[in-house]
Every structure is written in structure tokens, then in C-alpha cells.
């Protein structure tokens, strides 16, 4: 046989060997690519499951870790991952996981991913483990870091010296504690600079309550006639108890009209008719939120005023109220006028000896079963809320509040909202309705506690079409809300000093935007003797009088969102 034929045969054999080896290598690469791609696709599914579980459970924090964990696992099951057979779903509150935020839920999901070709090498599964973190940004606490809310300057003296000389700055004379008994008891709660307030359904939005009145008939532009913001649910306030044994009281829950003293400052809580003499109805309901602050669907009633304060036509004649007659009675000595009332007492179950948890106090003037209640009455009812017992208790507005200020000439301060360090780098939005209905000039500044000291912040603002010409937008550290006389007043630094015109924002919404630096809170947020960190304040300089305003505060961003590591 020729030698060339032997060479050809050998070469052919070598090619076959190389080809076979290449095929095996190629198959190995394909096997790896298939298994890795399959693992990657499944790991994405595991990540999405962890994300969904964290979002589902975070809304129950910080109130209920039990619900947070349970609903996180339920959501994981919906996506095909139930603990068992190699699958683990592990939710844990951030503060129990070495973190610092009790509102954050960390969820880790692990699951075996089956292989195809790697089985040849004895590797039948690869475990995919992914973690997600979600946080629930709840409504911003407003108005009070204390165990009471809405305590203004209280005065029943003959000379009214307490209010007219001390004004409404924190530390001025307030009302007695609910545990002190008589309204004239020595134990006083310091004034917070305003009273809680609600206006009747038949009232007018232009008086300052943006949500409770149905009507809007003054300086309202194209919306004249109906209040487009009308909300029959009124206002809700949050009460937190850390232990059992809590009680909830309302100061001056009834309506008993009172007049103004010589300095133009209403005495006591200052309930008054704006027009007409029809009855005034106010309803107070305490709900157990069952530690689900994100929804009211599962709230249960603990106590209610029922009809106790319905259709009241009363006047405190001795303290400046309108004369009696025509159905108006003298209510100056009534059991609950300028005194504390335990919610529910005299009308069924009371809001006493409450268990630890979060409760919602709803205040409204609308009666769902009778559309005529308060339908033709224009009046304001002022009140305060106090929590007693129950370990460490606090009371605050939930996202929005109506505040009635008894204002002496000078500068007053009151609590606005609590903004903690998690808001660093975000934008604070403050919506303010109808400021400046006072005597003389008025200026407003926003004070933040960053660096453990109160200082005015820079902001931009825009106002709706009801604002006066030239006042629909601006920037700086101050807003002038009334252009009246400045006699006896010193405008704060950085504030304009126009002296013509009246209220610039009658029946107008103002949107204030405050960009928070990324360093916000890094040094501290607790000035002086403040009891809690992060509480912002409003500084209001006025020529005197009274002003009902509505406030809403939000940190811009999704209420429930994932946290990027």
C-alpha cells in the first residue's frame, strides 16, 4: 500500500478525534450557558419575590411585626415560594436585623434552582438567595410631640393679662391637665400656640378650614359656590400608647360661644358663631387602628360622643358670648365647657384603660344620617386632645390639621411637623390654606431643628389664583401674609415690609417646597429642651387678632418603596 494512503488515514483519524473533542467542549459550554441562564432567570424571580414580600409587609410597621412577617410570607407564596423543601422566606424588622429604622422590613428569599446538564457532574441544584428592603413612610406627625394636642392661650381672668402680655409662644399659660380636675386648678399645660379646630358643614371655606365646610363663596374664582375640598370625615388625630391603661380626653368638646377681650384675643378655647344662631354639632370618635396605620378599613370603634354635642345653641355670656334668647342658652357653667371630657363618658363605653397601640381620634361636624345637621350654621368649635396613662403617650395630627391661633401682637411659635433623618436629600412639601386674617402686618417663617438649633429655612412657594397680584410665587426665608400696619412690629430678618393691602392669601392655598440637604440630621435634630428629635416649627409675627388656618405636610416620594442598598 502506498505511504500516502497511510498518512491520509492517520490525518483523518486525528481530525475525528479533534472534532469529537470540540463537540464535547462545545456541549460543555452550551451546558454551562443553559444552566447559568436558567439560574439567572430564576434568581430574578427570587429577587422580584423578595421585593414584593418586603413591600407587602412593610406597611404594617412599626406597629405590628406579626402582621408584617405574615403578609410578607403570604406574598411570597403567591409568587410560588413557600418555606419548605429547600425554600426559605425570612422577613425581619430592620432594627432587629442590626439596622436603625423600625419602619423598614428586610426580606431574604432562598430557593433551589434545578440544573440540566450539570447533573452529569453531580450538581442537581444551585441555591439562589436574594434580599429586598422596603420602608413605609407614614403620614407626617403634626402639631405636637407631647401627650396633648391643640392647647392655646387660656384665660378667664378679669384683666386678660395672661394672654395679652405673654402672647402664644410656647411656655405661655395653657389649660389645666386633665388629671387636675377643675378648670381653675394650678397644674397647667403650656400653650402650644393654637387650638384644635373644626368648622361646621354650613360654614365657608374662606374662614380658614379647608375641608369641613361645604361652601366656598368668597374670593373663590371659578369654584364659587361649592367647596371642592369638602371632606365629611373631618380631621383625624393619632394617639400612641406604649403600655396598657391609656385614656383619651377632649378639652371643651361642646360648643359654647365666647367673645373677644379688649386685646382682640378670644378667651378660653374661643368657640364662636360666624353668622346665624342655628345649632352646632360636633362628633368625636376614638378608633382602634389595630396597628394598621395605612388603612382605616379594619379600624374598630372604641368610644364615641354620639349625640352628646349635637345641635348645641350655647353662649358663655359672662365671658363675652352673644346674648341668650331665640333658642340660645347660657352654657357658661355647663359640665364640659372649658373642662376635660373622657371620650365616651355619659354616652356608653369610654376611652379609658386602653391597651398599648395606636388609636385615631376623629373630629367631624357632619352626621352621615342627616344631611341637614350643620347645613345652615357657620361656626367654629375649638378643642384640645390629651392622652393619659398608657406608658409613654403622645398625640399629634396625622398629615393635616386645622389650627386656630389666638394671636397677641408680637411673635408666636407653634409645632408644625416631625421630619426625621430618613428625609435627608428629599423635598418637604408644606401646603398652607388662608393665612393672614389678622390685624396689621403678618409674616411667616419656617424653622427647622437641623444641627440641634432652630433656624429659618430657605424655600420656594407658589399660590393659587385667589392670592393677591404679585404674591403668587416667591422664594427666600419668609412670606408676608398681611400687608397691614406695622406699627409696633419689627418684621423678622429677611422678610418684606410692604404696608399696603390686607391679607394677601384670602381663601388661597400656598405650596411651600423645602429641599432637605443630604446632611440633614447628621449633627442632630433636638434643639434645647425638646422632648423628641425632628420637630419643625412655624414662627408667626402678627399685629394681633386670631387666625384659622389649615396645614398639610408631606415628604415627597412614594409612601411605600424599596430601599436601594
Q: How far apart are the C-alpha atoms of 250 and 351, rounded to whole Å?
A: 11
Name the residue with cell 364640659: 336
Asked whether residue 17 is domain-assigned, the answer is: no
State phi, psi for 152 to the nearest 5 degrees: -100, -165
Question: Which cell goes with 523?
Answer: 449633627
pLDDT of residue 438: 86
pLDDT of residue 198: 95
Asked whether residue 339 is domain-assigned, the answer is: yes
pLDDT of residue 411: 85
By 3-state DSSP, what share of the chain in percent is helix, strand and coil, each rounded to 5? 15, 35, 50
Asked whether residue 18 is domain-assigned, the answer is: no
Indicate if 342 and 454 belong to the same structural domain. no
Q: Is 65 left (phi over 0), alpha (psi -120 to 50) or beta?
A: alpha
State phi, psi for 19 to the nearest 5 degrees: -65, -45
Asked whether residue 65 is domain-assigned, the answer is: yes
| CATH number for the domain harbouring residue 562 | 2.60.120
Q: What is the Cβ-side half-sphere exposure of residue 260, based on CA atoms within 13 angstroms? A: 12
Burial 415-434 (b: 16+ CB within 10 A, else e): bbbbbbbbbeebebbbebbb
pLDDT of residue 490: 85
CB 88 within 8 A of CB 110: yes
Alpha carbon distances (Å) from 90 to 46, 68, 107, 108, 230: 13, 11, 6, 5, 44
Instruction: Count other C-beta atoms under 10 Å from residue 221's C-beta.
Output: 11
Name the residue with cell 479533534: 18
Which residues contact residue 333 at a Cβ distance below 8 angstroms, ignoring those fewer than 6 apart?
none
DSSP string of 11-79, one letter each residue = HHHHHHHHHHHHHHHHHHHHHHHHHHHHHHHHHHHHHHHHHHHHHHHHTTTTT-HHHHHHHHHHHHHHT
Indicate if 398 and 415 belong to the same structural domain. no
Indicate if 402 and 414 belong to the same structural domain. no
Indicate if 391 and 247 belong to the same structural domain. yes
Q: Is 242 left (phi over 0), alpha (psi -120 to 50) or beta?
A: alpha
Structural domain ending residue among the three candidates 85, 103, 135 = 135
Indicate if 402 and 324 belong to the same structural domain. yes
Indicate if 108 and 202 belong to the same structural domain. no
Asked whether residue 326 is domain-assigned, the answer is: yes
pLDDT of residue 167: 37
Helix axes 3-58, 65-78, angle to 10 degrees: 140
**Domain membership of residue 462 as a residue range:** 409-565
Indicate if 260 and 376 belong to the same structural domain. yes
Class of residue 42 by CB neighbours under 10 A (exposed 0-12, middle 13-18, buried 19+): middle
pLDDT of residue 166: 38
| Paired strand residues for 301 | 287
Measured at the alpha carbon of residue 71, what is the angle toward residues 73 and 142, in degrees to the nearest 5?
140
Which residues contact residue 352 at a Cβ distance below 8 angstroms, ignoring those fewer than 6 apart?
246, 247, 248, 342
State phi, psi for 207 to the nearest 5 degrees: -80, -10
Indicate if 451 and 560 belong to the same structural domain. yes
Give pLDDT tens digits along the chain (565 positions): 455 555 555 555 666 666 666 676 676 677 777 888 888 999 999 999 999 999 999 988 887 899 999 999 999 999 999 999 999 999 999 999 998 888 899 999 999 999 887 777 778 899 999 999 999 888 899 999 999 999 887 765 544 445 543 333 333 455 666 664 444 344 567 788 889 999 999 889 989 999 999 988 765 555 568 898 999 999 999 999 999 999 999 999 999 988 754 444 445 667 888 776 678 999 999 999 988 777 788 899 999 999 999 999 988 888 778 888 888 899 988 988 888 899 999 888 898 999 999 999 999 999 888 888 888 888 999 999 999 989 999 999 988 999 998 777 888 889 999 999 889 999 999 999 999 988 889 999 999 999 999 999 999 999 998 999 889 999 999 999 998 888 888 888 888 876 677 889 999 999 999 999 999 999 999 999 898 999 999 999 988 778 899 999 999 887 888 987 7
Indicate if 485 and 553 belong to the same structural domain. yes
Asked whether residue 389 is domain-assigned, the answer is: yes
Indicate if 528 and 559 belong to the same structural domain. yes
Indicate if 401 and 430 belong to the same structural domain. no
Question: Which cell goes with 144?
Answer: 405636637
Which residues contact residue 17 at a Cβ distance below 8 angstroms, ignoring those fewer than 6 apart?
none
Asked whether residue 57 is domain-assigned, the answer is: yes
Asked whether residue 10 is domain-assigned, the answer is: no
pLDDT of residue 277: 60
Question: Which cell goes with 424?
Answer: 435627608
Which residues contact residue 312 at a Cβ distance below 8 angstroms, ignoring those fewer than 6 apart?
254, 255, 256, 279, 280, 281, 282, 331
Number of domains in the chain: 3
Structural domain ending residue among the three candidates 112, 135, 158 = 135
User: pTM of the prediction?
Assistant: 0.83
Query: 3-class SS at 447?
Result: strand
Indicate if 395 and 466 belong to the same structural domain. no
Class of residue 523 by CB neighbours under 10 A (exposed 0-12, middle 13-18, buried 19+): exposed
pLDDT of residue 124: 87
Structural domain ending residue among the three candidates 103, 135, 167 = 135
Q: How far apart are the C-alpha atoms of 83 and 72, rounded to whole Å?
A: 12
Amino acid at each position: 500500500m502506498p505511504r500516502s494512503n497511510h498518512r491520509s488515514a492517520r490525518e483523518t483519524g486525528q481530525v475525528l478525534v479533534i472534532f469529537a473533542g470540540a463537540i464535547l467542549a462545545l456541549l460543555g459550554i452550551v451546558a454551562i450557558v443553559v444552566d447559568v441562564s436558567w439560574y439567572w432567570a430564576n434568581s430574578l424571580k427570587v429577587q422580584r419575590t423578595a421585593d414584593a414580600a418586603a413591600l407587602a409587609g412593610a406597611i404594617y410597621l412599626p406597629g405590628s411585626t406579626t402582621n408584617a412577617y405574615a403578609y410578607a410570607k403570604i406574598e411570597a407564596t403567591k409568587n410560588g415560594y413557600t418555606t419548605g423543601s429547600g425554600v426559605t422566606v425570612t422577613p425581619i424588622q430592620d432594627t432587629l436585623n442590626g439596622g436603625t429604622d423600625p419602619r423598614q422590613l428586610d426580606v431574604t428569599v432562598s430557593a433551589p434552582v434545578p440544573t440540566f446538564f450539570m447533573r452529569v457532574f453531580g450538581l442537581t441544584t444551585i441555591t439562589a438567595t436574594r434580599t429586598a428592603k422596603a420602608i413605609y413612610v407614614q403620614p407626617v406627625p403634626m402639631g405636637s410631640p407631647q401627650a396633648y394636642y391643640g392647647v392655646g392661650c387660656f384665660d378667664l381672668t378679669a384683666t386678660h393679662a395672661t394672654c395679652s402680655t405673654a402672647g402664644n409662644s410656647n411656655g405661655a399659660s395653657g389649660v389645666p391637665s386633665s388629671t387636675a380636675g377643675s378648670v381653675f386648678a394650678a397644674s397647667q399645660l403650656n400653650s402650644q400656640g393654637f387650638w384644635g379646630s373644626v368648622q361646621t358643614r354650613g360654614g365657608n371655606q374662606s374662614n380658614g378650614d379647608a375641608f369641613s365646610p361645604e361652601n366656598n363663596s368668597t374670593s373663590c374664582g371659578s369654584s364659587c359656590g361649592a367647596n371642592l375640598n369638602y371632606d365629611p370625615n373631618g380631621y383625624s388625630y393619632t394617639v400612641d400608647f406604649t403600655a396598657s391603661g391609656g385614656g383619651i380626653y377632649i378639652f371643651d368638646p361642646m360648643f359654647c360661644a365666647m367673645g373677644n377681650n379688649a386685646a382682640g384675643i378670644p378667651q378660653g378655647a374661643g368657640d364662636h358663631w360666624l353668622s346665624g344662631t342655628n345649632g352646632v354639632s360636633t362628633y368625636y370618635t376614638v378608633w382602634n387602628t389595630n396597628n394598621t396605620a395605612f388603612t382605616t378599613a379594619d379600624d374598630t370603634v372604641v368610644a364615641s360622643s354620639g349625640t352628646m354635642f349635637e345641635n348645641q345653641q350655647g353662649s358663655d355670656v359672662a365671658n363675652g358670648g352673644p346674648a341668650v334668647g331665640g333658642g340660645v342658652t347660657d352654657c357658661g357653667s355647663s359640665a364640659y365647657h372649658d373642662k376635660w371630657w373622657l371620650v365616651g363618658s355619659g354616652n356608653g363605653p369610654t376611652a379609658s384603660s386602653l391597651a398599648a397601640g395606636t388609636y385615631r381620634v376623629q373630629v367631624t361636624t357632619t352626621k352621615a344620617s342627616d344631611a341637614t345637621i350643620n347645613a345652615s350654621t357657620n361656626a367654629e368649635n375649638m378643642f384640645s386632645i390629651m392622652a393619659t396613662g398608657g406608658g409613654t403617650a403622645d398625640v399629634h395630627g396625622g398629615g393635616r390639621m386645622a389650627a386656630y391661633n389666638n394671636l397677641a401682637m408680637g411673635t408666636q411659635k407653634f409645632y408644625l411637623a416631625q421630619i426625621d433623618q430618613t428625609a435627608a436629600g428629599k423635598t418637604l412639601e408644606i401646603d398652607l390654606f388662608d393665612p393672614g386674617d389678622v390685624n396689621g402686618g403678618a409674616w411667616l417663617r419656617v424653622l427647622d431643628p437641623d444641627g440641634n438649633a432652630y433656624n429659618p429655612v430657605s424655600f420656594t412657594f407658589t399660590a393659587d389664583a385667589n392670592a393677591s397680584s404679585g404674591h403668587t410665587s416667591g422664594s427666600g426665608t419668609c412670606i408676608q401674609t398681611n400687608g397691614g400696619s406695622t406699627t409696633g412690629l419689627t418684621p423678622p430678618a429677611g422678610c418684606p415690609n410692604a404696608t399696603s393691602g390686607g391679607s394677601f392669601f384670602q381663601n388661597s392655598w400656598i405650596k411651600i417646597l423645602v429641599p432637605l440637604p443630604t446632611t440633614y440630621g447628621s449633627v442632630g435634630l433636638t434643639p434645647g429642651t425638646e422632648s423628641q428629635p425632628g420637630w419643625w416649627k412655624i414662627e408667626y409675627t402678627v399685629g394681633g387678632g386670631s387666625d384659622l388656618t389649615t396645614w398639610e405636610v408631606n415628604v415627597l416620594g412614594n409612601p411605600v418603596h424599596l430601599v436601594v442598598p
